[in-house]
């Protein structure tokens, strides 16, 4: 595909509404695209996406590692359909809408790779293209995805902001910790005072430098029965595995419980796992292959830290090493989201080069 054809495909995808939970139209588009090229695909359970598989081209390439590429088809909620313009080489919106390059840039690159491999069958091993849904809703699609459909030894997740050539080898553990404190209207201390006492004690607690705990919502209300209730929503993130986080989670919970008991307040809590930490060594197979492919294309390389989670967090946790590659878009989840046409082209070339390097 030429750069103009790649751009046109991206714009076709952007024009398809696909907010999380409403992805059927774009899934149908992909299924039709695959069927037109005689590529088999299998839907995953619970509408969590689909996987398209290209078999190895011959007996020699059957010995190559089986690789996968992944991208999510859904976008974050947008207030309006995007109205697109091309300005100084950038595709962006002219209205208060999200562009959806997160992650339709990744989807575009995968579809381009499929099209090129079917029209110009250079030698390659087995390749799997995983299209997930509901990524923007807590990585739900990847968490539900039927991995019995996937044989990959390792993979590449095309879903991070920044210039193509950036890679993410590590990601943090991320937990949601929510607390509720309730007291009667005749109580000697208010629920807000009790909550503040707990927070003050927690802030004096020593956490590892690689761990960060923050409250992002603190609000009180008076219930119909006259009781006062405070809601505390917080996040805990750390640069190490979940099992190393759990003692600190328990310490935070214990402080709330002890102060609640001391003041005869009702304390409740819920802990939710958002995504797990992962770490790929620079000498791991996906990192070595991606590094070589970038060098072959003379792309500027850099390893960066991604604050949010991706489907790669889930696939790594479920036993398939996945490296995250930047897909070229900027300002995701904002109305300033945009992507350079050249970045789209670089991404498609990188996918093709990774396939070539793996086969050799």
**Confidence class of residue 306 from pLDDT cuts 50, 70 and 90?**
confident
Question: Phi and psi for 147 in degrees, rounded to 5?
Answer: -75, -5
| Annotated active-site residue in 23, 128, 135, 353 | 135
With a cut of 80, say whether residue 186 has pLDDT above it: no
With a cut of 80, say whether residue 164 has pLDDT above it: yes
As a whole-number percent, the residues of the chain with pLDDT over 70 amount to 100
pLDDT in tens, 97-116: 999 999 999 999 999 999 99
How many angstroms from the chain centroid is the CA of residue 48?
A: 14
The pTM for the full model equals 0.93
Please tell me whether 159 is known to bind a ligand.
yes
**For residues 190-200, average pLDDT:** 95
With a cut of 90, say whether residue 188 has pLDDT above it: no
pLDDT in tens, 230-250: 999 999 999 999 999 999 999
As a whole-number percent, the residues of the chain with pLDDT over 90 amount to 92
With a cut of 80, say whether residue 2 has pLDDT above it: no
Please tell me whether 136 is known to bind a ligand.
yes
With a cut of 90, say whether residue 328 has pLDDT above it: yes
Please tell me whether 23 is known to bind a ligand.
no
The reported pLDDT for the residue numbered 307 is: 80
Question: Phi and psi for 17 in degrees, rounded to 5?
Answer: -60, 130
**Confidence class of residue 139 from pLDDT cuts 50, 70 and 90?**
very high
Q: 3-171+278-359: which CATH topology?
A: Aminopeptidase (3.40.630)
Boundaries of every domain in the chain: 3-171+278-359, 173-275
**For residues 117-134, average pLDDT:** 94
**For residues 164-186, average pLDDT:** 95
Domain 173-275 annotated CATH 3.30.70.360: yes
**Cα atoms found within 13 Å of the Cα of residue 267, Cβ hemisphere only:** 22
Q: Is 12 a catalytic residue?
A: no
- d(CA 323, CA 132) in angstroms, rounded, equals 16
Q: Lowest mean pLDDT of 30-34, 75-79, 99-103, name the range.
A: 75-79
- d(CA 277, CA 202) in angstroms, rounded, equals 23
The reported pLDDT for the residue numbered 205 is: 87
How many angstroms from the chain centroid is the CA of residue 22?
A: 18
**Confidence class of residue 187 from pLDDT cuts 50, 70 and 90?**
confident
Q: Lowest mean pLDDT of 91-105, 182-196, 208-222, 259-273, name the range.
A: 182-196
Element (H, E) at 253: helix 242-262
Could you write out the DSSP letters of every residue in 87-156?
ETTEEEESSSS---HHHHHHHHHHHHHHHHHHHS------EEEEEES-TTTTTHHHHH--GGG---SEEE
């Amino acid at each position: 595909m030429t750069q103009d054809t790649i751009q046109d495909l991206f714009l076709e995808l952007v024009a398809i509404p696909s907010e999380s939970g409403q992805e059927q139209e774009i899934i149908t588009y992909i299924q039709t695209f695959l069927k037109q090229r005689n590529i088999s695909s299998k839907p995953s359970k619970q509408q969590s996406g689909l996987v398209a598989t290209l078999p190895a081209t011959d007996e020699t390439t059957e010995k190559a590692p089986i690789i996968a590429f992944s991208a999510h088809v859904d976008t974050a909620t947008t207030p309006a359909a995007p109205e697109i313009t091309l300005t100084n080489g950038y595709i962006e919106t002219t209205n208060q809408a999200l562009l959806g390059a997160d992650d339709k840039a990744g989807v575009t690159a995968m579809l381009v790779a499929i099209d090129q491999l079917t029209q110009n069958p250079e030698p390659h091993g087995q390749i799997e293209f995983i299209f997930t849904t509901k990524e923007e809703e807590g990585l739900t699609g990847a968490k539900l995805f039927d991995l019995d459909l996937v044989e990959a030894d390792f993979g590449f997740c095309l879903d991070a902001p920044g210039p193509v050539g950036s890679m993410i080898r590590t990601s943090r553990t991320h937990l949601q910790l929510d607390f509720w404190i309730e007291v009667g209207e005749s109580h000697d201390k208010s629920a807000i005072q009790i909550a503040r006492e707990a927070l003050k004690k927690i802030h004096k607690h020593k956490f590892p430098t690689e761990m960060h705990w923050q409250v992002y919502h603190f609000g009180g209300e008076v219930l119909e029965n006259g009781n006062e209730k405070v809601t505390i929503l917080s996040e805990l993130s750390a640069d190490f595995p979940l099992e190393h986080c759990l003692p600190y989670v328990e310490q935070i919970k214990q402080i709330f419980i002890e102060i609640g008991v001391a003041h005869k307040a009702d304390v409740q809590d819920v802990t939710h796992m958002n995504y797990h930490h992962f770490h790929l060594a620079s000498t791991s197979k996906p990192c070595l292959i991606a590094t070589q492919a970038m060098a072959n294309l003379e792309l500027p390389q850099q390893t960066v830290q991604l604050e949010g989670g991706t489907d790669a967090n889930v696939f790594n946790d479920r036993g398939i090493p996945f490296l995250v590659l930047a897909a070229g878009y900027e300002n995701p989840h904002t109305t300033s989201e945009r992507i350079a046409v050249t970045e789209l082209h670089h991404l498609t070339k990188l996918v093709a080069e990774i396939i070539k390097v793996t086969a050799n």
